[in-house]
């Protein structure tokens, strides 16, 4: 492809994406075709000769769009949001065009240094403890996801707990243990499996039934029992904004217990961390000064396209010591000078894209004020919806809702609530998901799209409320 051809087709596809964003709200939020329908629309094999871009745009409309779950749709209230934005997409475009592979500072000085500074900017924006800044003992790095952050934190925790013995011999006969609440994300168990600890080493600590936050005294009891039984606690994962209900674990109390037992504390704020751009929502981060590592996903609620997890450590030496391996072919003068960061030592993959460009573009385009507006709008819309639910005595709110997720159910019970969700989703106008809270089937409505307005929330409530008329008559 010549530069001119790239320019022409590139402009055309930028138009296609812009048109998509303008029209996505009028499409059904989820596809209706059965499994296999998209694959059936594709040719059986690749073309023998390159067939250029002729027809590609039509294929995007006819093959791809009908098979899309539209995460950018203003009626997408499922899971947690994963919203992108113009500046994020343009940052990714530039990163793709530059095609740099920034495994070492030497292979990507700009990729490395922009990433370091963006993570420092983000730390300032969220008012994270000073220890997390690269100008102090710590620093930040972009991981693909909060799941990878949990794995990396687990490895750092294992290194702290097992030292050189873990590095040279692995788990061996030592019974390492990992702690999170019953509401902790599944990625913590997965990280324990990958790290060789296994499901048997994961302790799910009970939560308070009202707040759904981890009970610190139960954590202390579990740690003490394991230590007495000869196990070696490796990491405690506390959550700010659990996946089911956005519960917030009491970090300060958990942190003091971790200090007492010398255990690595990782704080998973995958979704709710973004809220800390707003000073009035920073209460959720109280006690973060005890954490050894912390992550949140700008790709969830901060207008940065997937994938972009921001992960910080308070002591970068501890992380690098756990992960670094230096083969001859990577040796270089800059690394040996000790004056640079080599991000290959901060995560699992060696190779790395220039992902910080999209963060840089987003931060410059929106500024702190624009990002705060985005978060505040999501919170206000969710609270507006929650007020409607609370005012209707056929419904009950199932959990505290300090951010932009509302969990609710029909008092009529699980079957009615499940039927309500199915009927609402079947309209194709909105997409909600479910969870269980204290055993009850609960609907989750999570707001996050910059396209979502009061009108969408009021329409959603009107649909939910009239559907309930039918179900609980």
The residues binding ligand PLP (CB under 6 A) are 80, 145-147, 185, 187, 239, 242-243, 268, 270-271, 297, 309
Is the CB of 128 or the CB of 171 nearer to ligand PLP?
128
Nearest distance from C-beta of residue 242 to ligand PLP, angstroms: 6
Is the CB of 187 or the CB of 335 nearer to ligand PLP?
187
Q: Which residue is nearest to ligand PLP (CB)?
A: 145
| Contacts of 19-22 spanning 24+ positions with Cβ under 8 A | 20/65, 20/72, 21/72, 21/451
Nearest distance from C-beta of residue 152 to ligand PLP, angstroms: 12
Nearest distance from C-beta of residue 201 to ligand PLP, angstroms: 19
Is the CB of 141 or the CB of 468 nearer to ligand PLP?
141
Question: By C-alpha distance, which of 456, 366, 406, 384 is closest to 125?
Answer: 366
Is the CB of 146 or the CB of 460 nearer to ligand PLP?
146
Nearest distance from C-beta of residue 243 to ligand PLP, angstroms: 4
Nearest distance from C-beta of residue 199 to ligand PLP, angstroms: 18
Nearest distance from C-beta of residue 406 to ligand PLP, angstroms: 16
Is the CB of 104 or the CB of 362 nearer to ligand PLP?
362
Is the CB of 190 or the CB of 429 nearer to ligand PLP?
190
Is the CB of 146 or the CB of 468 nearer to ligand PLP?
146
* CB-based burial label for 126 (10 Å; 0-12, 13-18, 19+): buried
What's the 3-state SS for the chain?
CCHHHHHHHHHHHHHHHHHHHHHHHHCCCCCCCCCCHHHHHCCCCCCCCCCCCCCHHHHHHHHHHHHCCCCCCCCECCCCCCCCCHHHHHHHHHHHHHCCCCCCCCCCHHHHHHHHHHHHHHHHHCCCCHHHCCCCCCEEEEECCHHHHHHHHHHHHHHHHHHHHHHHHCCCCCCEEEEEECCCCHHHHHHHHHCCCCHHHEEEECECCCCCCECHHHHHHHHHHHHHCCCEEEEEEEEECCCCCCCECCHHHHHHHHHHHCCEEEEECCCHHHHHHCHHHHHHHCCHHHCCEEEECHHHHCCCCCCCEEEEECCHHHHHHHHCCCCHHHCCHHHHHCCCCCHHHHCCCCCCCCCHHHHHHHHHHHHHHHHHHHHHHHHHHHHHHHHHHHCCCCEEECCCCCCCEEEEEECCCHHHHHHHHHHHHHCCCCECEEEEECCEEEEEEECCCCCCCHHHHHHHHHHHHHHHHHHCC
Nearest distance from C-beta of residue 164 to ligand PLP, angstroms: 30
Nearest distance from C-beta of residue 80 to ligand PLP, angstroms: 5
Nearest distance from C-beta of residue 83 to ligand PLP, angstroms: 13
Task: Give CA separation, 190 vs 99, 167, 184, 186, 205, in Å.
Answer: 31, 20, 12, 6, 17
- What is the C-alpha separation between 86 and 446, in angstroms, rounded? 22
Can you read off the two tokens belonging to residue 59? Answer: 């294929």
Is the CB of 272 or the CB of 464 nearer to ligand PLP?
272
Is the CB of 257 or the CB of 269 nearer to ligand PLP?
269
Is the CB of 104 or the CB of 126 nearer to ligand PLP?
126
Nearest distance from C-beta of residue 184 to ligand PLP, angstroms: 8
Is the CB of 24 or the CB of 78 nearer to ligand PLP?
78
Nearest distance from C-beta of residue 394 to ligand PLP, angstroms: 29
């Amino acid at each position: 492809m010549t530069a001119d051809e790239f320019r022409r087709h590139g402009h055309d596809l930028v138009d296609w994406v812009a048109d998509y964003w303008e029209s996505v709200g009028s499409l059904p939020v989820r596809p209706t075709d059965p499994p296999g329908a998209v694959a059936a629309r594709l040719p059986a094999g690749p073309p023998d000769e390159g067939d250029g871009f002729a027809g590609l745009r039509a294929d995007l409309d006819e093959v791809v769009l009908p098979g899309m779950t539209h995460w950018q749709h203003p009626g997408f209230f499922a899971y947690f949001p994963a919203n992108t934005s113009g500046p994020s997409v343009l940052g990714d475009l530039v990163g793709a065009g530059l095609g740099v592979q920034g495994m070492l500072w030497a292979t990507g000085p700009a990729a490395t240094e922009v990433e370091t500074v963006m993570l420092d900017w983000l730390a300032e924006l969220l008012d994270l403890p000073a220890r997390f800044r690269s100008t102090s003992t710590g620093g930040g790095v972009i991981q693909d996801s909060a799941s990878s952050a949990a794995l990396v934190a687990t490895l750092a925790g294992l290194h702290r707990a097992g030292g050189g013995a873990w590095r040279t011999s692995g788990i061996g006969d030592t019974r390492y243990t990992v702690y999170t609440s019953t509401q902790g994300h599944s990625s913590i168990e997965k990280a324990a499996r990958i790290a060789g600890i296994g499901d048997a080493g994961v302790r799910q600590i009970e939560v308070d039934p009202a707040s759904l936050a981890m009970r610190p005294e139960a954590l202390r009891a579990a740690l003490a029992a394991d230590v007495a039984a000869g196990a070696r606690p490796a990491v405690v994962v506390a959550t700010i904004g659990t996946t089911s209900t956005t519960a917030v674990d009491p970090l300060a109390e958990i942190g003091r217990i971790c200090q007492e037992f010398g255990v690595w504390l990782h704080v998973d704020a995958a979704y709710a961390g973004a809220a800390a751009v707003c000073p009035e929502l920073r209460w959720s981060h109280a006690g973060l000064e005890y954490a050894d590592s912390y992550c949140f996903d700008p790709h969830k609620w901060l207008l940065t396209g997937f994938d972009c997890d921001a992960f910080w450590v308070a002591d970068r030496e501890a992380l690098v010591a756990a992960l670094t391996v230096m083969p001859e072919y990577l040796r270089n003068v800059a690394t040996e000078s000790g004056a640079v960061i080599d991000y290959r030592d901060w995560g699992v993959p060696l190779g790395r894209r220039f992902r910080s460009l999209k963060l840089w573009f987003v931060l410059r385009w929106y500024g702190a004020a624009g990002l705060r507006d985005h978060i505040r709008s999501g919170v206000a819309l969710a609270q507006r919806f929650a007020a409607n639910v609370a005012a209707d005595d056929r419904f009950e709110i199932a959990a505290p809702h300090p951010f932009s997720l509302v969990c609710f159910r029909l008092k009529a019970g699980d079957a009615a609530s499940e039927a309500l969700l199915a009927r609402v989703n079947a309209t194709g106008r909105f997409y909600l998901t479910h969870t269980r809270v204290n055993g009850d089937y609960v609907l989750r409505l999570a707001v996050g799209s910059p396209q979502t307005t009061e009108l969408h929330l009021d329409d959603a409530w009107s649909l939910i409320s009239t559907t309930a008329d039918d179900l609980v008559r």
